[in-house]
Amino acid sequence: MPSRAAVILLGLLLAGDSDDSADREPVATNSEQKAIENKSLKASFLTSFFTSTLSIFERRSDSFSVEKKPTKSRSYGWTTAVRKVVTSGSMRRLQEHILGTSRFDNLSMTSQIWFLGKCYKLSLEESSQCSDPGNSYAAFLEDFSSRIWITYRKGFEPIVESKFTCDVNWGCMIRSSQMLVAQALILHHLGRSWRKPLQKPYELQYVEVLHLFGDSSTCAFSIHNLLQAGRGYGLAAGSWLGPYAICRTWETLARANKEQAEHDKCKESLPMVLYIVSGDEDGEQGGAPVVCIEVAARLCSDFSKGQLEWAPILLLVPLVLGLEKINPRYIPLLWETFTFPQSVGILGGKPGASTYIVGVQDDKALYLDPHEVQPAVDIRRDDSEADCTSYHCSTVRHLPFDMIDPSLAIGFYCRDKG
């Protein structure tokens, strides 16, 4: 009898038999580009509106600075009132609703959460009498905020053959994929129970993982090097791409990185096999993706130069599970993948806006959002005192499962053949 995990995964893999697979493209379609533009316009409009509203009243307030004190007080009071409205919880919720984001305040306090293979039975009881504090809400938040969060950055070195020093509005799929691979590396080096230390110095292995994803061509898995590796799949600075193209990009980059490590006789940056589970050679002709043990065994043997029977392996499974919307019959199967201890999440989100989906609760998909702009930072691989705060997030966002873009990619990290 096949295992429950095998049956669930088979159900998702067979989704590749549908005609939807023919719609998979390395770069965004026109509709996807429009979705990006519309989202960007929404964000720009809101930002401009809120900023201009405040600035108008601030200038109005300043203009009274040479007048009598009562007049200044009235203008100051008006400015304060407007500021309170603009920054109030209701306005923020409206803004998040328009931009398509939700925070953790709508999570159920009674339903369990499956988060990257671990189950949390939430409880508001945070006292010492809690029967299992490891399953508490606080424990979940500690686990969530320990995952590596990679977002838009600004002010990094210019990308080769372009003037881009920022990836806002086009780099979200790249950032989401970096988070997934970073989680696989944390699992490999530090284990699933690892949590970010509260105090410095940090483990050098953790700092080394962060260094790999720095925004410089000297960092192995930087946006610069991913763009270089993905040229053959249409990847270019300023352009959005789909899950299949980014999976193949990682395959190319991992191969180049391994060859470089062998040439320089240094440690490999990705100490695991990367296996893209696809139905055919280029992933655009349809066919059910199948995990072939013989292929995996050969990849492992080649990876270890025949010294090991089996090597750790990262499976990336790009799928298209519907046309405009995800087919409802696949949602329970997709949900179940988060119960696998091998789960490293899903590259997915709304059309044209990729996120890193890391967990589920009821009908909600929980995710880390790359759509926040932060200054580029340089974390050296040997700096145990580095400021790593920008690589972690405690805000749990979610969206309904049936709102997920049907084009996605599932990740699994398997330490051994078993």
For residue range 364-394, what is the model confidence (pLDDT) as tens digits? Answer: 999 999 999 999 999 999 999 999 999 999 9
> What pLDDT sits at residue 240?
85
Q: What is the pLDDT of residues 246-271, one digit of tens each?
A: 999 999 999 999 998 888 878 889 99
- Whether 172 is a known active-site residue: answer yes
Dist CA 313 CA 310 (whole Å): 9
DSSP state of 416: S
pTM beyond 0.85, yes or no = no
In the numeric block, which tokens belong to residue 33?
């580009």
Among the options 211, 224, 371, 398, which is catalytic?
371
* 410: nearest Cα among 19, 10, 27, 20: 10
For the question of residue 414 being annotated catalytic, the response is: no
- Start-to-end CA distance of the chain, whole Å, equals 16
Q: Which of 143, 172, 300, 388 is catalytic?
A: 172
Distances in Å between the Cα of 74 and the Cα atoms of 60, 67, 85 are 11, 12, 17
Token reading at 309: 């029977």
Determine the distance from the C-alpha atom of residue 11 to the mean position of all C-alpha atoms in its chain, rounded to a whole number: 24
Q: What is d(CA 184, CA 164) in angstroms, rounded to the nearest whole number?
A: 29
pLDDT value of residue 22: 35
- Residue 225 is inside which H or E element, if any? helix 223-229
How far, in Å, CA of 12 to CA of 288, rounded? 9
Within 8 A by CB and 6+ apart from 87, the residues are: none
CA neighbor of 355 nearest in space, from 372, 338, 342, 339: 372
Catalytic choice (369, 383, 388, 414) = 369
- In single-letter form, the type of residue at position 222 comes to S
β-pair type (374-375, 153-154): parallel
Expressed in percent and rounded to 5, the helix, strand and coil fractions of the chain are: 45, 15, 40
> Distance between CA atoms of 233 and 28, rounded to whole angstroms?
12
Active site residue 371: yes
The two three-digit tokens of residue 38, written as one number: 């519309």
- Tens-digit pLDDT string for the chain (418 aa): 445 555 555 566 555 444 433 333 333 334 444 444 444 444 443 444 333 333 333 333 333 333 333 433 343 444 344 334 433 444 444 434 434 445 555 788 888 999 999 999 876 554 445 456 677 888 999 999 999 999 999 999 999 888 899 999 999 999 999 999 999 999 999 999 999 999 999 999 999 999 999 999 999 999 999 999 999 999 999 998 899 999 999 999 999 999 988 888 788 899 999 999 986 555 444 457 788 889 999 999 999 887 888 899 999 999 999 988 999 999 999 999 999 999 999 999 988 899 999 999 999 999 999 999 999 999 999 999 999 999 999 999 999 999 999 999 999 999 998 8
pLDDT value at residue 11: 60
Bridge partners, 118 (sequence order): 115
